[in-house]
Amino acid sequence: MVLTWLPPLTVASWAALAWPEYSHLRHSLSQLAAHAPWLGVLLFLWPGLGMAWHAHRARGRLPEGSGLGLRLAWQMALLAALAFALQGVLPFDAARPADEDANRLHVLAGMLWWLCLWLMAGCAMLARTLPGKRRLWMALLWLAIPALALLAPAFTSGALALRLAILLWILMVLIVRGGRFRNRS
């Protein structure tokens, strides 16, 4: 998982240094990628495909009888990863409004990513085969994701909310992946 996130974090840091007006607290990753399309590949496509690979492998390794909740959680993790990766392919023009032209598709992919994160946490929370402590964490994350998406921009910038959501995403994958699978028939 380190190889999934280390290159984009390094690139985001260096690219932000090259753009003096850029602030991680005020500007989204999409605005950084709008200046150079190759940044979209490294900031969205690379980690998105890496997380998709992790989700696909984890779902394939689920033991028989692991339950519908965990299978759906990993399916939502896969869809979230693909939606995140799609943001790196779809163009974003920082000079235009988010609901105009091609920006719509980029924003739609971002909204699908948020929705799949929330559904992943919900499915994992309902998974009977995930140990109780991990289900409790999923319940907390299930509440935190919409709160972050809806309330955080009122108190902080949307850019900071996105970065916190990425951290929650990594945390969710680690919690569900680290869970011991038990057969409760």
- For residues 13 and 113, which has the higher predicted lDDT (pLDDT)? 113
Is residue 31 pLDDT above 60, yes or no? yes
pLDDT for residue 183:
41
pTM of the model: 0.82
- For residues 159 and 80, which has the higher predicted lDDT (pLDDT)? 80
In the chain, where the domains are located: 29-177
Q: Which pLDDT band, with edges at 50, 70 and 90, does 2 fall under?
A: low
Could you give the C-alpha distances from 142 to 22, 124, 145, 150, 161, in angstroms and in order? 31, 9, 6, 13, 15
Least confident range of 9-18, 131-140, 147-156, 164-173: 9-18
pLDDT digits (tens, 9 = 90+) for 49-78: 999 999 999 899 888 888 888 899 899 999
pLDDT digits (tens, 9 = 90+) for 85-139: 999 898 888 778 777 777 889 889 989 998 998 888 888 888 877 777 888 888 8
Residue 109's φ and ψ, nearest 5 degrees, are -60, -40
Query: In terms of Cα–Cα distance, which of 38, 53, 35, 30 is closest to 7?
Result: 38
pLDDT for residue 52:
94
- For residues 54 and 34, which has the higher predicted lDDT (pLDDT)? 54
Instruction: Give the Cβ contact number of residue 8 at 10 Å.
Output: 22
Q: What is the mean pLDDT of residues 40-51?
A: 88
pLDDT for residue 74:
92
- For residues 29 and 85, which has the higher predicted lDDT (pLDDT)? 85
